[in-house]
A and B are shown apart, each in its own frame.
Chain A
Amino acid sequence: MIQDVVWSVSIILMGALALVFIWVATGASVAIANYGPVIDAAYRLRVWLFGIALIVLIGTNYKTVGELPYINTLPPLPAAAVQPVQVVGQQWMWTITPNTFKVGQTAEFQVTSKDVNHGFGLYDPEFRIVAEVQAMPGYTNVLRYQFTEPGTYQVLCLEYCGVAHHAMQAQIKVTDH
């Protein structure tokens, strides 16, 4: 899952950066008399780091900006291939119609709110988030998602909406056939 990749990459990079700080901190007590060459070497290193950072930045953004979840950026699908789903959030319940699907089916959740901001968070049967979108009064946000495994999906509210925010949950059933 994306979350696992992000966690692993983040921990590695954070740890590597922490090690650099620790390395410099533990070696700080040794003094170099002439600071000039240190600065010159550091500036040369920074140019290299800037180049590497720029390549990573451009590459990652090029790749990820090509895979947006927004409906206006997704290829249109024939009406028969998509199941429209009405999702209405209100303090503190979800109304989802329909709420049963088959594996392989693509749903387009048309998400709105009757009162305040809510967050439509779709959790898979292993209780990990697979998609989300905000539910806002006055707007209908469309979220497309294809169900790939059977089971009971949970819908949790992911935008704080008042005292029963944590209890604002619903279920979606996905069957093999």
Chain B
Amino acid sequence: MTIAATAGRTAINPRAAVLAYLAVSGIVLLLMMLLGLTMRLAQAQWIDVSPDFFYVVMTMHGAGMVGIAGLCSAAVMWHFVRRHVPVSTAVFLTNLVFFLIGAVLILGAGFIGGFGAAWTFLFPLPAHSGGLWSVNAAAAYLVGLIFIGVGFLLLHLDIARGILSVYGGLGAALGVKQAFGLAHGEEGPPPAVTASTMALIANILGILVGAAVLIISLVNLYVPSFTFNALAAKNLIYYFGHTFINVTIYMAVIAVYEILPIYAHRAWKTNWAFYLAWVLSTVFVLTVYTHHLLMDFAMPTWTLVAGQVISWLSGLPVLLVTAFGTLTVVYRSGLRWNPAAALVFLGVAGWAIGVIPAIADGTIAVNSVMHNTQWVPGHFHTYLLLGMVAMVLGFMTYLTNPQSRYGVAWLGYWLYLLGGVVFVLAFLSAGSASVPRRYAVHVAQWLPYDRIGSIGAACAIAGVLILIVRFFVGMRTAASAQDPSG
């Protein structure tokens, strides 16, 4: 199926739809970053924020970032996968509408209703507000998440329909035969199709599980006598939450596969190792979530040991296939660096480097003294802020590629990179010093970490602001342009 055939399915300009996703993503990303900075400044005691408002901000930051990570990485995936399979622009935009409805409900729940049960809404906390938020505010938050989940479910189902119409099965689209040597690697599906297949398998399952626990929590709000096992609920929440946020990276990495070879003038070689990595990553993403429950001693021990071992195993495909492949494509390629190439390259570096503290935290002996310390936001900001977000910023820069403004973009790039490094290192070092995460009030000995982290965050936000403003400046011409060809 060609792009022309796909475009014929709807009158809506698909490229404009992708740009609309990225425009919303850019604005929401910046707003959520400012909420994050607000928390760091409050912890640093440089601004005065009441604890009840701090926890509202924390909840909005968490939910907003997870949602927008999904949205912007879905734009990357959809932009590239539609070159290979027929997909519906109307469904793509329906997801955006559902997202915006969900976002309004969530923001209303927080900033009007005072809902502050963290984005993870661990059962039964939404129903135990201590008088700070109403049942209706909690319900608005949960319904908002359901809207966002339904939108993504529709999007993934539509992509699944398109993939099945071309490849006949999800196994073929994932490259299972190539992974196990039953077919030549060169004959396998394009990386964008493989990654999209992995994303839809994981996210459809994850969203369905998430919907179940959201409905349970919703019923519990209005019928308190309807209770549910708190540990089972935690399993469902982390299954959904872990899967959703991890899949954002696997969707965004398509930008690396597609953009970097253009500038490096080298093809991304797909072979059995590439497909095996994606098959294994699919399995790992769906089974590793118990590493969030390592301190829940009531869990069957084998599930927790499995969580540790799979955490370690899941680092191998990232480091030995995607990171190694990126380095191989760039190595002495004659690549003349531009901000788009540099950002997607940084995205892989951030992802790979972030795997190291993540694996450490997934080790039970380490988790026993570092669980829910700032080590946790330290490692996930490394592979999300400096990984996934960098890939998406690279994609945004690639689509709006006015070379005359490279100077400004480089300024944004370096502010973002250096600020981001300082920001995540402040978190990691604080975590190793036992500073707990999700605390509105910090004691004096924790303030140096908070203050250094705040400075890093401010620099990173300034850099992202420059890159996003540059995106908006180039957006008008980008709507009718072709993708750069190097």
Contact = CB atoms under 8 A, between A and B. Distances in A.
Contact-residue size bin, chain B (C-beta under 8 Å from the other chain): 35 or more
Contacts of B337: 25, 28-29
A64 B308 contact: yes
B1 interface: no
A136 interface: yes
A129 B333 CA distance: 48
Interface string B120-145: 10101100111010000000000000
B112 interface: no
Given A50-B320, A61-B309, A164-B130, A129 B360 contact: no
B229 interface: yes
Contacts of A84: none
Interface in A16-42: 17-18, 20-21, 24-25, 27-32, 35, 38-39, 42
Given A3-B370, A70-B297, A28 B331 contact: yes
A160 B438 contact: yes
Q: Secondary structure at chain B's binding surface: helix, strand, loop or mixed?
A: helix
Interface in B397-450: 428-429, 431-434, 436, 438-441, 445
Contact of A14 (B356, B433, B445): B356
B372 A119 contact: yes
A164 B118 CA distance: 13
Given A53-B319, A72-B301, A123-B434, A162 B327 contact: no
Contact of B51 (A4, A28, A115, A163): A163
Contact of B441 (A14, A117, A134, A167): A167
Interface string B44-63: 00000001100100000000
Interface string B92-108: 00000000000000000
Given A24-B331, A61-B308, A64-B363, A137 B297 contact: no
A142 B296 CA distance: 10
A71 interface: yes
Interface in A138-165: 138-143, 156, 158-165
Interface string B294-322: 01111001001100110011001001100
A118 to B, nearest CB: 10
Given A4-B432, A31-B332, A161-B125, A49 B324 contact: yes
Contact of B364 (A11, A14, A64, A163): A64
Contacts of B334: 28-32
Given A138-B229, A162-B132, A6 B360 contact: yes
B432 A7 contact: yes
A13 B356 contact: yes
Nearest to A72: B301
B369 A2 contact: yes
B345 interface: yes
Nearest to B234: A117
Contact of B298 (A32, A67, A130, A136): A136
A164 B297 contact: no
Contacts of B332: 27-28, 30-32, 38
B165 interface: no
A163 B320 contact: no
Nearest to B298: A139
B231 A136 contact: yes
A49 B320 contact: yes
User: Which of B118, B295, B441 is packed against the most chain A CB atoms within 10 Å?
Assistant: B295
A39 B125 contact: no
Contacts of A160: 55, 118, 120, 122, 125, 438
Given A3-B370, A32-B332, 14 more contacts: A7-B429, A14-B357, A17-B323, A21-B348, A38-B328, A70-B297, A116-B125, A119-B371, A132-B369, A136-B298, A138-B230, A156-B436, A158-B371, A158-B373
26 contacts: A2-B366, A6-B370, A14-B353, A29-B336, A32-B332, A42-B327, A46-B324, A49-B324, A60-B363, A68-B305, A69-B364, A71-B297, A72-B301, A117-B122, A121-B372, A131-B368, A134-B295, A134-B296, A137-B230, A140-B298, A143-B297, A156-B436, A160-B55, A163-B51, A165-B438, A166-B440
